[in-house]
Amino acid sequence: MTKVTLRPVDDTAPCVGCGLCCNGTLYFRAKVTPGEEPVLLDHGLTLTADKDRTYFRLPCHHESCGRCTIYENRFDICRSFRCALLRRYQAGEIDLATARATVEKALELAAAVKGDDAAAGLVGERGRIRSELAERLLAGGGDERAKASRRLLNIIALDTFLERWFRNKKAQPGEATEEAPAIDDSNS
């Protein structure tokens, strides 16, 4: 029988060196806590409004090499957000070595995608790039088609891995609904 070790919410060891929730790889934007807008503006972030919510766009310029350069003074969403991998780790479902290996694999997949096109590292750009590559597959031949196929497969591999290990699932029809996601991967 496997022993489950619950970890405290402040045990964020898998996050060190990751940065996927901050650098635009995983999410497009992050929700702003009402009243915190002046703080974010003072830190040079651009705010956008969508319906009754305010967001700041990602990537956050305070992220550097998978770390927050203002960690002690980070924003509310940054303090409270926990990706699916971190939730699994804190629940004792996976150990630190597995969590770190998963982060390393995600960073490796992201590096492969960015090696072809730096913009493809941003979730908000990947949809557009996927469409362009699909068109090249239909129109191209030979080497062009092979190159487009490889790039498209790299992007799909990254997005599938992020969905499997990092993104918090949205409620499906018939399930209990939750508040809108605090960090958003949609480009709308």
- The per-residue pLDDT for range 39-83, each reduced to its tens digit, is 999 999 999 999 899 999 999 999 999 999 999 999 999 999 999
The owner of tokens 């997005």 is 159
Locate 172 and state its tokens: 């499906």
CA 173 to the chain's CA centroid: 24
Average pLDDT, stretch 175-182?
49
What's residue 181's pLDDT? Answer: 53
Classify residue 94 as left (phi > 0), alpha (psi -120 to 50) or beta. Answer: beta
Q: CA-CA distances (angstroms) from residue 132 to 124, 143, 158, 167? A: 14, 16, 17, 25
C-beta of residue 25 within 8 angstroms of C-beta of residue 162:
yes
How wide is the angle at C-alpha 126 spanned by C-alphas 120 and 128, nearest 5°?
A: 120
Alpha-carbon gap, residue 184 to 102, rounded angstroms: 21
* pLDDT tens per residue across span 3-37: 668 888 889 999 999 999 999 999 999 999 999 99
Question: Of 16, 151, 144, 35, which Cα lies nearest the Cα of 89?
Answer: 16
- Contact between 6 and 92 (Cβ < 8 Å): yes
Whether residue 179 is predicted with pLDDT greater than 50 in this model: the reply is no
